[in-house]
Amino acid sequence: MLEFNYHNILVGVDGSKTAVKAVKKAIAVAHRNSAKLFIVAVINNRDFIGVSKSASIGFGNIDPSTIESLKDNFEKLVNGYAKQAKDAGLTNVEAFVTFGDPKTELATEIVADKKIDAIVIGATGVNFFTRLTLGSTAAFVIAHAPCDVFIVHRPKKGDHD
């Protein structure tokens, strides 16, 4: 039987229900491997300039307090997940928020910087048109990450886990 031993596990979070499941799975994998767990939220730069459908600011002047508020919300999110990981018995956890394209940050930049050998990411289930125009972050990570990638699917109706 093959044995895998991961040392640095990355989980990307975005506030979705799928991310909640991804964190739980990442904690379990990190625990089984006595690995360091990196919990990261990547704030998409396109959200500030109105390029994406979910742009929180839109075209025009960007209010720095809006950006700071968004960052604060994501820091609370990743810090909450870090507490959850520590409460589950992990002792080596790093949580942070960064800016950039989530696809490249998760697939290559953070992987290289933190020497990641496994990524856990949620599949958001974007529709076909969105996947064609923007591409699925999970699909991009699978295709470009130089390490193992675990995909966690969104909760099914009635699934309370």
Indicate the pLDDT class of residue 38, thresholds 50, 70 and 90: very high
Confidence at residue 49, expressed as pLDDT on a 0 to 100 scale? 55
**Cβ-contact 92, 114 below 8 angstroms:** no
Confidence at residue 128, expressed as pLDDT on a 0 to 100 scale? 53
Query: Quick one: angle between helices 64-87 and 17-33, nearest 10?
Result: 40
Indicate the pLDDT class of residue 45, thresholds 50, 70 and 90: confident
d(CA 50, CA 121): 25
Segment 152-158 mean pLDDT? 74
Confidence at residue 1, expressed as pLDDT on a 0 to 100 scale? 47
Q: Is the pLDDT of residue 116 over 80?
A: yes
Segment 83-96 mean pLDDT? 97
Count the alpha carbons within 13 Å of 44 in the hemisphere toward its beta carbon: 19
d(CA 50, CA 56): 8
Domains observed in the chain? 8-152 (3.40.50.620)
Confidence at residue 2, expressed as pLDDT on a 0 to 100 scale? 54
Indicate the pLDDT class of residue 144, thresholds 50, 70 and 90: very high
d(CA 40, CA 158): 28
21, 14, 45, 42: which is closest to 126 by C-alpha? 14
Confidence at residue 137, expressed as pLDDT on a 0 to 100 scale? 86
Considering the chain, what is the average pLDDT of its residues? 83
Segment 121-146 mean pLDDT? 72
